[in-house]
Amino acid sequence: MLASSMALIQQFSVPIARGVRPSHRTCLRSCTMAVAPSSTPDLSIPSSTRDSSSQVLLGLSEKELQQVALDLGQQSYRGKQLHHLIYQRKVREIQDLYQLPQAFRNDLQEAGWTVGRSPIFNTVTAADGTIKLLLKLDDSRLIETVGIPVEDDKGSVRLTACVSSQVGCPLRCSFCATGKGGFSRNLKRHEIVEQVLSIEEVFKQRVTNVVFMGMGEPMLNLKMVLAAHHCLNKDVQIGQRMITISTVGVPNTIKKLASHKLQSTLAVSLHAPNQKLRETIVPSAKSYPLDALMSDCREYFLETSRRISFEYALLAGVNDSVDHARELAQLLHEWGHGYHVNLIPFNPIEGSEYRRPYKKAVQAFVSALESSKITVSVRQTRGLDANAACGQLRNKYQKSPLVTDPENMGSQLPNMDLAVTC
């Protein structure tokens, strides 16, 4: 998010789950995928790409995989085996499904099925153990996903996967590196799910929490985000309450999400206490006034009884004064209760005019909110030495601007300015 606007990869305030402490190097490292190319990798984007989503096994439920097996003349239990191999063993290629008969593997390939896993093009590990991955999709586009391990006082580790929902982002939030790289297309269900599996492979432990805060605006790809959410919950076995969906605000989508009555957390990227300031930070806010957004948030809470978390990126000298904090508290009190503010000190990105606030300013902002009886937390900064701001690593390797695919945009936001500078 963040891509959605929360393009700041840092620590998340989510429940603790059991885990095993991974071993990490304490220095920054960068390495290419297992089979490193002998020359500069070809990252050109093909003029046309094959849509193979209908023939991808990843993302299918156990029942659907059983049907695949039956359609190819196998017994249904082969589908259960497929499910285990894909989601638990994380097998990447059809011919590596050794527990299945060779004839079945051949039939799967001949029928055009693939597992649907993408190679890891690049990894960067920060000193604090945060790892950012670049995955290279079938069409040679690159997407980012981040694994964030956090150890509690008892030595247990929760592992959060920060996943992308789009290739790039069309909303162009002024502090976000993803928006600077342009927008290409929405991710498919399996391309979202595989990010979590890749994080588990790299860390050699289960992901306990998932946040849709990577590249892209999840609400602009809500159909696939919900499909991936279902798969992560039912097939990857991550509890709904351990999943967070972040949005900068897209008209009508919060109401649509509320109708699904998920137990997951909705995080709304606010970043300003008034409409005028918000428009300078989040250009799309011009077509989605703050009052309309807050009204939708109130209705979401009434519909789902789920507390909304408001993400607020603190930008030095822009939106981090005590007066801004008091105005934010007044805004939240005006629109109801059950809200939580998650403050995020800005994660510097190359070429940005914004600066990270001093700790003293952050604490003053916190105190002003608390004195107004607003629940607040400060996100611990993670991965500052690993190009952690969303989009930074991708832009390093795929410098050419992305061309917006109109078929992916459709008429999702007829009243919003979605122009992308290419």
Q: Which residue intervals of 253-404 are DSSP H helices?
A: 253-258, 275-281, 290-304, 322-334, 359-371, 392-397
Query: Cα–Cα distance between 250 and 412 in angstroms, integer?
Result: 9
Number of domains present in the structure of the chain: 2
Query: Cα–Cα distance between 262 and 192 in angstroms, integer?
Result: 18
Let me know if residue 199 belongs to a domain.
yes
Tell me, rounded to whole angstroms, the distance of Cα 296 from its chain centroid: 22
219 and 253 Cβ atoms separated by less than 8 Å? yes
Closest listed residue to residue 138, CA positions, set 163, 115, 157: 115
Query: Cα–Cα distance between 397 and 395 in angstroms, integer?
Result: 5
We report the CATH number of the domain holding residue 75 as 1.10.150.530
Among candidate residues 194, 390, 407, 422, the one labeled active-site is 390
Say if residue 130 is in the same domain as residue 68. no
Say if residue 141 is in the same domain as residue 222. yes
Does pLDDT of 36 surpass 50?
no
Q: Which of 110, 144, 179 is the last residue of a domain?
A: 110
Let me know if residue 269 belongs to a domain.
yes
Say if residue 104 is in the same domain as residue 136. no
Say if residue 106 is in the same domain as residue 230. no
The string of pLDDT tens digits covering residues 285-328 is 999 999 999 999 999 999 999 999 999 999 999 999 999 999 99
Does pLDDT of 375 surpass 80?
yes
Let me know if residue 243 belongs to a domain.
yes
pLDDT of 38 reads 33
Let me know if residue 174 belongs to a domain.
yes
110 is catalytic: no
Among candidate residues 144, 191, 194, 311, the one labeled active-site is 144
Residue 84, domain extent = 57-110
Closest listed residue to residue 6, CA positions, set 287, 249, 315, 311: 311
pLDDT of 352 reads 79
31 is catalytic: no
Say if residue 94 is in the same domain as residue 185. no
Let me know if residue 158 belongs to a domain.
yes
Let me know if residue 22 belongs to a domain.
no
Let me know if residue 43 belongs to a domain.
no
The string of pLDDT tens digits covering residues 76-132 is 999 999 999 999 999 999 999 999 999 999 999 999 999 999 999 999 999 889 999
